[in-house]
Amino acid sequence: MTGEVKFLQGNEACFEGALKAGARFYAGYPITPSSEIAEMASQRLPAVGGVFIQMEDELASMAALVGASMAGAKAFTATSGPGFSLMQENLGLAIMTEAPCVVINVQRSGPSTGLATKPAQADVMQARWGTHGDHAIITLCPTSVQECYDLMIYAFNFSEKFRTPVIFLSDEIVGHMREKVVLRDDIPVINRPFPQGDPKQYMPYKPGENKVPPMAYFGSEYVFHASSSMHDETGYPNNTAQNADKVIRRLYEKIYDHRDEISIIKEFETKDADVLFISFGSAARSSREAVNMMRKDGIKAGLLQINTIWPFPDKKVRQLISHAKVVLVPEMNLGQIINEVRKLSEGKPVFGVNKVDSTIITPGEIVNKAKEVLQNA
Amino acid sequence: MGERMEIRLSGSGGQGLILAGIILAEAAILDGKNAVQSQSYGPEARGGASRAEVIISESSIDYPKVTKPDILLALTEEALMKYKDNLKPDGVIIIDSSIKKPELPVKIISLPIIETAQNRTGKVIVANIVALGALTTATKIVSKESTEKAVMDRVPKGTEELNKKALYSGFELGESL
């Protein structure tokens, strides 16, 4: 891993990753605990020929992202719970029109304004199902400052390759902690496929490789119409049942056909683990320490850290669960990822380690719960 | 030095302790170690008890928050009262000499940090850098060279001499023990 070494906040590393991935458009409405990203974008994007716009609200921010994306830019925004709620409608527009973009949600304690400066991991299901209609979505969760940088590049790569919005689900703890980060240059950057052939024959929504249509940009000789209504390969509305079935399935399959490629996970001591933790975001940091503490006590513990939470890494989770005696899912909510794990556990008991008081789950709390569960197993 | 060292820097909001925490962590990284810095993050910008946390380790740092500090720096009585009780048994507290020395089962070092900032530089605002210098030499948690480089890299342009003077005064305070 080579590149400039910096000591940055997670939020700052998110911006550096976006810049590295080629992002040149930011539209947003600052909100704690994500504001550092807007601040950096406002200072740094204009210096590289990019655009920063402070919008009137998050509805407009998300709309601006879709527009910028269609004009050919790699576009992103950053927000937190209340703003993410407002973005849901136009997030659906980005899915329907296949406009690549990245939405960062640095999670804070809710509902509503909640504890505005405190962390939570409670937007897991909102990231999956916040916008209406059947759809697939890609969601990445960082556990460290380095991962903020790395995963932002992957977020843009996935959005470009699959022409889809990608949600980057951070949290206040990861967003505001400072760690060493290498601004590495060894992650290849992917750009959306551009159409070939006679512009007059251009079919903007005709699927190409991987069921993804090549994408022109507004202002190019490839003229196109993008609609939020159900449309066919021409881009114009088509209300037939047959077309709707085809499009909804394609939008889903273009992502779910590539689950293995999209699934980013990390395993710590899982090979012989009797006690398996499955976690993500800042809770995965505490879980890693819990693994260390239990191993010192002679208990075989391990952690599956899930960086790609959507699509959920079914295959890996199923495989590791089958070898474990007990499974625990630490998360800073009352149980969201745990339900995905339970769907795959084939009757094996799965226990939550849940906390919603806006303070981080400590390794000690995880160890205590694991020991209690082990005794009764 | 143990495997994992936890340091809490406390005082009142506006005293620059978060900046001191960042510099301390950067010095540790310059020394070739790992470091994580975080802070209590609330809506208030000035006053109240404020804290920055730094974890320094030779190996990777998993849990990113301080649970039982090895070192506590307190520049105000309010901060000391709030954070004094959960140190490790062999921990050390560095307090400003304006604070009445409390009876506690851990080692307490009292140093004229704020007074030194005022007398040596004429500016109380650099008390955070004096404190950082004193903490560096009193605990040897990071090297003087790395601390100096980290300070110079972080402070605003035009304030280098002021901060250097503050840092060196702090080094002397810690070395005088």
Task: Write the CATH number for A294.
Answer: 3.40.50.920
- The answer to whether A135 and A2 have CB atoms below 8 angstroms apart is no
pLDDT reading at B156 higher than 60 = yes
Chain B residues with beta carbon closer than 8 angstroms to that of A117: 41-43
One domain for residues A366 and A276: yes
Chain A residues with beta carbon closer than 8 angstroms to that of B58: none
pLDDT reading at A260 higher than 70 = yes
A116 touches chain B (CB under 8 A): yes
One domain for residues A138 and A53: yes
Q: What is the pLDDT of residue A39?
A: 98
Of A201, A233, A262, the residue at which a domain comes to its end is A262
A42 touches chain B (CB under 8 A): no
Determine what percent of chain B is predicted with pLDDT higher than 90.
89
Give A176→chain B minimum CA distance, Å: 7
Give B25→chain A minimum CA distance, Å: 8
Instruction: Show the tokens assigned to A166.
Output: 């990608």
Q: What is the pLDDT of residue A331?
A: 98
A289 touches chain B (CB under 8 A): yes
A123 touches chain B (CB under 8 A): no
Return the minimum-mean-pLDDT range out of A242-256, A315-329, B40-54: B40-54
B59 touches chain A (CB under 8 A): no
A363 touches chain B (CB under 8 A): yes
* Whether the predicted model's global pTM rises above the 0.90 cut: yes
One domain for residues A234 and A286: no
pLDDT reading at B45 higher than 60 = no
Of A262, A288, A308, the residue at which a domain comes to its end is A262
pLDDT reading at A186 higher than 90 = yes
One domain for residues A278 and A255: no
Chain B residues with beta carbon closer than 8 angstroms to that of A116: 43
Give A144→chain B minimum CA distance, Å: 9
Q: What is the pLDDT of residue B38?
A: 94
Q: What is the pLDDT of residue B139?
A: 96
A249 touches chain B (CB under 8 A): no
Give the mean pLDDT of B133-137.
98
Chain A residues with beta carbon closer than 8 angstroms to that of B64: 173, 177, 179, 282, 285
- The answer to whether A250 and A207 have CB atoms below 8 angstroms apart is yes
A288 contacts B63? CB cut-off 8 A: yes
Give the other-Cβ count within 10 Å of A89's Cβ. Answer: 15
B35 contacts A180? CB cut-off 8 A: yes
The DSSP secondary structure of A243-311, one letter per residue, reads HHHHHHHHHHHHHHTTHHHH--EEEES-TT-SEEEEE-HHHHHHHHHHHHHHHHTT--EEEEEESEEES
Q: What is the pLDDT of residue B173?
A: 97
Alpha carbons A152 and A107: distance in angstroms, whole number: 16
**Helix, strand or coil, per DSSP, at residue A332:** coil
One domain for residues A222 and A329: no
One domain for residues A38 and A129: yes
pLDDT reading at B13 higher than 90 = no
- The answer to whether B59 and B3 have CB atoms below 8 angstroms apart is yes
- Residue A239: CATH number of its domain: 3.40.50.970
Give the mean pLDDT of A190-201.
96
Q: Which site among A178, A355, A358 would you substitute to test the B interface, given the most B Cβ atoms closer than 10 Å to its Cβ? A: A178
Chain A residues with beta carbon closer than 8 angstroms to that of B29: 5, 7, 180
The nearest alpha carbon in chain A to B38 belongs to A177
- The answer to whether A211 and A253 have CB atoms below 8 angstroms apart is yes
B43 contacts A177? CB cut-off 8 A: no
Among the listed residues A106, A91, A100, A90, the one whose alpha carbon sits nearest the alpha carbon of residue A23: A100
Of A246, A262, A278, the residue at which a domain comes to its end is A262
To which residue do tokens 């409608």 refer?
A89
B35 touches chain A (CB under 8 A): yes
Q: What is the pLDDT of residue B6?
A: 98
One domain for residues A250 and A298: no
A172 touches chain B (CB under 8 A): yes
pLDDT band at B73 (very low <50, low <70, confident <90, very high): very high
**Count of domains observed in chain B:** 1
One domain for residues A290 and A229: no
pLDDT reading at B122 higher than 70 = yes
B29 touches chain A (CB under 8 A): yes
Give the other-Cβ count within 10 Å of A188's Cβ. Answer: 7
Give the other-Cβ count within 10 Å of B109's Cβ. Answer: 19
Q: What is the pLDDT of residue B50?
A: 84
Distance set, CA B28 to CA A307, B11, B37, B54, B62 (Å)? 28, 22, 11, 10, 17
Q: What is the pLDDT of residue A36?
A: 98
Q: What is the pLDDT of residue B155?
A: 93
pLDDT band at B44 (very low <50, low <70, confident <90, very high): low
pLDDT reading at B1 higher than 50 = no
- Residue B103: CATH number of its domain: 3.40.920.10
Chain A residues with beta carbon closer than 8 angstroms to that of B36: 177-179
B38 touches chain A (CB under 8 A): yes
User: Average model confidence (pLDDT) for chain A?
Assistant: 97
pLDDT reading at B92 higher than 90 = yes
B41 contacts A176? CB cut-off 8 A: yes
Q: What is the pLDDT of residue B2?
A: 52
Q: What is the pLDDT of residue B39?
A: 86
Cα dihedral A216/A217/A218/A222 (nearest 10): -30
Instruction: Measure CB to CB from residue A285 to each of B34, B35, B64 and give the nearest one.
Output: B64
Instruction: Measure CB to CB from residue B43 to each of A117, A179, A282 and give the nearest one.
Output: A117
Cis before A237 (ω within 30): no
Q: What is the pLDDT of residue B42?
A: 64
Q: What is the pLDDT of residue B24?
A: 98
One domain for residues A67 and A210: yes
Instruction: Measure CB to CB from residue B36 to each of A179, A286, A360 and give the nearest one.
Output: A179
Instruction: Show the tokens assigned to B12.
Output: 């009142």
Give the mean pLDDT of A96-123.
97
Alpha carbons A336 and A227: distance in angstroms, whole number: 33
The nearest alpha carbon in chain A to B54 belongs to A178
Alpha carbons B115 and B121: distance in angstroms, whole number: 10
Instruction: Measure CB to CB from residue A177 to each of B42, B62, B64 and give the nearest one.
Output: B64
Give the model confidence (pLDDT) of A264-311 as tens digits.
999 999 999 999 999 999 999 999 999 999 999 999 999 999 999 999
Q: Which residue has the higher pLDDT, A330 or B177?
A: A330
**Helix, strand or coil, per DSSP, at residue A355:** coil
Domain that holds residue A344: 267-376
**Count of domains observed in chain A:** 2
One domain for residues A223 and A272: no
The single-letter DSSP state of residue B59 is S
Alpha carbons A215 and A245: distance in angstroms, whole number: 22
Chain B residues with beta carbon closer than 8 angstroms to that of A292: 62
Return the minimum-mean-pLDDT range out of A32-46, A124-138, B43-57, B86-100: B43-57
pLDDT reading at A185 higher than 60 = yes
Give the other-Cβ count within 10 Å of B102's Cβ. Answer: 13
Strand partners, A160: none
pLDDT reading at A323 higher than 60 = yes
Distance set, CA B89 to CA B68, B69, B84 (Å)? 9, 10, 12
To which residue do tokens 């047959």 refer?
A242
Give the other-Cβ count within 10 Å of A158's Cβ. Answer: 25
Strand partners, A77: A103
Give the mean pLDDT of B102-129.
96
* Residues A63, A44, A158: CA angle, nearest 5 degrees: 50
One domain for residues A234 and A120: yes
The nearest alpha carbon in chain A to B150 belongs to A7
B19 touches chain A (CB under 8 A): no
Alpha carbons A176 and A37: distance in angstroms, whole number: 11
One domain for residues A331 and A209: no
Instruction: Measure CB to CB from residue A180 to each of B34, B65, B67 and give the nearest one.
Output: B34
Strand partners, A330: A353
Q: Which amino acid is at A183?
A: L
Domain that holds residue B45: 4-175
Instruction: Show the tokens assigned to B148.
Output: 């100096």
Instruction: Measure CB to CB from residue B29 to each of A33, A172, A180 and give the nearest one.
Output: A180
Give the model confidence (pLDDT) of A135-181 as tens digits.
999 999 999 999 999 999 999 999 999 999 999 999 999 999 999 99
Own/partner long-range contacts of B149-153 (Cβ < 8 Å, ≥24 apart): B149/B27, B149/B30, B150/B23, B150/B24, B150/B26, B150/B27, B150/B30, B151/B23, B153/B26
